[in-house]
Every structure is written in C-alpha cells, then in structure tokens.
Structure 1
Amino acid sequence: MSESRTVQTEGADIAYDIDGQGPLLLLVVGGNGDSKLFARLSAQLADRYTVVKYDRRANARSTGDINGELDMAQAGRDAAAVIKDVNRGAAYVFGNSAGANIALKLTEDHPDLVRGLIDHEPPITDMLPQPEAGKWRTFFDRVYEVYVAEGAGPAMKLFATSFVGFDQNAPAPGDQAGGTHDRFLAHEFRHINSFVPNVDALRRAGVPMVTVVGRDSGDAFYAQTARELARQLPCPCADIVGNHLGYAIHAETFANELHRMIENLPARAPQ
C-alpha cells in the first residue's frame, strides 16, 4: 500500500511516496524531477524493499523557488532529508541520469545515510578525457543557447539527439515541448551537466557502489561517463536491460536485475 508524505526542509516541502516493505531503497529521479517516472519500477520492487520516490525541489508536487538555481549540495540535502524523515536507517540508493548525479552528491556529503549506491548512467562528461569532454561541453552549451533563443521544445529536441538505443517510433528523453522542461533548462540543466563528483571523498566514504550502463545505450555520453567513474573510483560497472529509460520501459526485468545488484554489493569498507 502506498503512502504519501512531505518533509519540510530549507524552505521547501519535498513530497515523497512510500511503497512496500523490506530494506529502504530511495529512488532519485532525473529529467523534470517528477517521481511518477518511477511508478512502474517502484511497483516491481515493493515486494522486496520499502521503496521511496520523491519529487525534486520545485518540481511536480514539491515546493520551492521555481526560479531558483539548482544547487547540487542542496539537492543532496533534500534526498538526505527524505531518508531521515522516513526514519528507517540508511538507504540503498538508485539514481538515474541527473538523479544519478544527485545520488553521487548525497553519497559524497552524507555517506552515513547511504547503505549502497547503484548509479545509472550519470551525465558527468567533464570527467572524460579530452577531446571527448570538450565535445560534450560544446554540445550542452549549444542546447542552452537554443533554449534561450527558441524555447524548450527545440532545445529538448536537440538534446534528444544525444540519446542512444531508442526506437524511431518512441521518443527519446526530452523529445517533447514545453511543460516542466522550462525549469529544467533554465535552472537545472547547466548545473547537472557541469557537476563532477569528489572522487576522493567517495573513496573515503567507503559506500559500496556500482555504476550501471543500459545494454542498449552503446557509447552514449552517459554510458561513457558511467564507465569512467567506475574506472576512477574504482568500482564495478555493470550492464542492465534497456536504454536510458530502461527502468520504465522494461520495469520488471530492470527491477529483477537491480535487485541482484543490490544483493551483490560488496561489504562497506571500514572507516
């Protein structure tokens, strides 16, 4: 049975849902910050975990300054506030895309709250070697320039050209106009794609981690960055069903594979 709650933190009400029972598993959403993207995955995991999904600050049901710039440290604190409010101890954490970057910041700054991290295709292209990093920085700057000049629709269509493994008849992430993508592009996009985790801090924290790449994602920028992060930490880099939206498109298989990854996380390193 699902329960909806809110937690007040730093001038915002963060809305979240709890489903199922078992070890605590926090899902951190990317994109437009709306946790309903995780509805199918949560349903598939609720027989094995207490699954918590939340709407990010100033998105969907959560309040906050819709014109405020995304602060990655604050985004990590929002996730921490949700874990603390649930009050069931440390959580396993799964983050996708922008949510994977936020999950890294949560783990970096609040390792005591993270039992283990499964990080799905984090977009951290500034970690890549040159000239690859520069190529993607130029592309992201171009997406933002198109947003300023032409609006959210054209900008998101351009952004969608960078996604790999999507059927021609199924839109890639971002291939839609308007809506909440205005906040994403105006106040979140540049902060997310310029984020670089503190690898030394993550190593010191000793939280068991796996980076994850969709088997259909090929050499997409977010697949490259997942592999590079795993190399630098180091930690395992695993593959999983589907593409960047595999958690929604193949929810049952994705949930089963995610569960096996969590079960096989290595023991936490001593502090």
Structure 2
Amino acid sequence: MTTIEVPDGQLHFEVRGSGPLLLITGSPMSAAEFGPLAEALAGDHTVVTHDPRGVGGSSLDDPDAPSQPELRARDLTTLLDRLKADTVDVLGSSGGAVTGLALVTDYPGRVRTLIAHEPPLLELLPDAVRWRKEIEQIVTTFHEQGAGAAWGAFMRSAGFVRDGDTPPAPPEPRPEPTEQQLADTARFFDHDLRATTRYLPDVAALVVSPARIVVGIGADSGHLNTYQTSMALATLLAEPPVTFPGDHAGFLGDPAGFAAVIREVLETDPAVN
C-alpha cells in the first residue's frame, strides 16, 4: 500500500501478486471493495487497485475538486508511469468502466484490453434527458433529506429496488458512519454521480483505438439501468458483450467466478475469432 502525487492531490494504490499487469478501477468503489477479486487474480497477475480521486486514502488539495472521468484517467496515467508500465490491461467496473473508456480515448496506446463492466453511460439511452433530471433529483434529495434518502432514491433509480419487492428486514444496529465514510458519500453525490453518468464516449475514437474493448454485463443485471447502458455501448462498438457472474457488484458475490471470466477474456486472441 502506498500513495503517489498526482497534479492536485495524492492517489492511494495497492499491488498484489505477480505476472502480467492488471489494473482494476472503480468509481466510487475503492481498493477495499476490489480486494477479494484482486486476491483471486493475484496468483497469475500483478493486480493494482486504488482509491479514486477524493475517495478513501486518495486525498485532494481541494476537497471540492471535480471528478470527471478524464481527470480520473489522468490520475491512472500518473500511476502507470510510477509503475513504469507503458501499457496495461484494465478491468473497470461501474464508474471505473467510464474511467477506462476515457483512458483509452485520451491516452491511446496505454491500454491493451479494457473490460468495461456495466458502465452507467446514461447519455447513450434514448431517454437521456429523463435520466439527467432523475440524477439531479437524487442530488437534490441528498442535500434536502440526507444520505439515507438519497441512497434509497439512487437504488430505486438504478433498478436495485423494484416495485413489488418485499421490504428488507430492519437493519441490525450499525455503528455510526465514520468521518471518511460521510466524506465519501458526499463526494459521490456532489461530484461523482453527475460527472460519470453524463460522460458521452467518443465511439469513433474507441472503434479505431489500438485497445481491445470488451463490454461486460452481469448475468443477473437485466433489471438494472447499467444493463441497458452496457448493451447500448456494445451495440455501438459492434461487439457482443461478455457475461459475468452476479449483477452490478458480481465481483463481491463471486470473486473467483468473476476472476475466471477476466482470465478467459484476457487469454482470448480476438484475431482467432
């Protein structure tokens, strides 16, 4: 575990294992959420995880500095330079998949294969204007009603909670959130959510990029808006998506199965197909 200087702060990262370099990136998910997946891959890969800018151990000189995917991609190039890695394979999940698309677009040649697992590219959907308004309402809910109400609105919007679902049992008493957890939540609603969901990929640049781009979808994600966005991206790239275990957070529920699909993708030579 260590940190490096980026132009406007510090980036916390972790390295495990040995073998070909694989960078795992999320947003707002930090290195901790990807720990089990990284361990599952460390037997045959050098796996790098990190806290995205402004989250966890990655501090910013200005806590209110923006979090556009282009800035997150720039941070990753600083990390790759520190690791003396000219090129890298990347698994990006959720907002991290959007970061990966910005990395491929803005820094040609740095990525060999990008596995973009369920990027929430709401601007690709035919009702993008409605989605934009819905995201704005979630942010407003955060400021007017607090984190609990905002997370509930977000989960309903994304499709994790559906009409007719049985209400969950009352939660067990939990410790009060830490100062860092509160800061990370505010970071997500104030800076990450809009920037990530409003990113519009340069499909023309992606198609001619030297990087191989594979869109990943969860086997159980059909009810989520990220399934729709992933299918829209796969259609634009004219490449069939690859199915991963579980839903949007399948890497948590089945890290070994998730790792197996990553290995299969990275070991497949597209020239043979």
- The question of a shared fold, defined as TM-score above 0.5 by the shorter chain, is answered with yes
> In the alignment, is the contact (CA less than 8 A) between 1:117 and 1:209 conserved in 2?
yes
SS in 1 for 2:4: strand
SS in 2 for 1:103: helix
> In the alignment, is the contact (CA less than 8 A) between 1:25 and 1:51 conserved in 2?
yes
Task: Work out the CA distance in 1 between the residues paired with 2:210 and 2:238.
Answer: 11
Quote the offset at 1:204 in angstroms. 2.1
Task: Work out the CA distance in 2 between the residues paired with 1:225 and 1:153.
Answer: 26
Residue 162 (str. 1) matches residue 166 (str. 2): no
Residue 57 (str. 1) matches residue 74 (str. 2): no
Quote the offset at 1:162 in angstroms. 3.3
Task: Work out the CA distance in 1 between the residues paired with 2:19 and 2:106.
Answer: 25
> In the alignment, is the contact (CA less than 8 A) between 1:208 and 1:265 conserved in 2?
no
Task: Work out the CA distance in 1 between the residues paired with 2:191 and 2:160.
Answer: 28
- TM-score by length of structure 1 reads 0.88
Structure 1 stretch displaced more, 66-75 or 9-18: 66-75
Deviations, residues 85-113 of structure 1 (Å, cap 9, x unaligned): 11133110011111111111011111211
Residue 15 (str. 1) matches residue 16 (str. 2): no
Equivalent of 1:108, from 105, 112, 121? 105
Task: Work out the CA distance in 2 between the residues paired with 1:58 and 1:100.
Answer: 18
Give the counterpart letter for 1:140 in structure 2.
I
Task: Work out the CA distance in 1 between the residues paired with 2:218 and 2:57.
Answer: 29
SS in 2 for 1:116: strand
Equivalent of 1:248, from 237, 252, 258? 252
Give the counterpart letter for 1:259 in structure 2.
R
Equivalent of 2:131, from 132, 136, 155? 136
Quote the offset at 1:220 in angstroms. 1.5
Count of residue pairs brought into register by the alignment: 257
Percent of pairs with identical residues: 30
Task: Work out the CA distance in 2 between the residues paired with 1:257 and 1:72.
Answer: 25
Residue 40 (str. 1) matches residue 29 (str. 2): no
> In the alignment, is the contact (CA less than 8 A) between 2:134 and 2:157 conserved in 1?
no
> In the alignment, is the contact (CA less than 8 A) between 1:165 and 1:216 conserved in 2?
no
Give the counterpart letter for 1:25 in structure 2.
L
Unaligned 5+ runs, structure 1: none
Residue 193 (str. 1) matches residue 190 (str. 2): no
Distance 1:165 1:239, change over 3 A: farther
Quote the offset at 1:50 in angstroms. 0.6
Distance 1:42 1:126, change over 3 A: same
Unaligned 5+ runs, structure 2: 171-175
SS in 1 for 2:247: coil
Write out aligned runs for 1:22-37 (5 A): 22-31=19-28, 33-37=29-33
> In the alignment, is the contact (CA less than 8 A) between 2:244 and 2:258 conserved in 1?
yes
Equivalent of 2:262, from 258, 264, 267? 258
SS in 2 for 1:162: helix
Which residue in the other structure is 2:120 paired with? Answer: 123
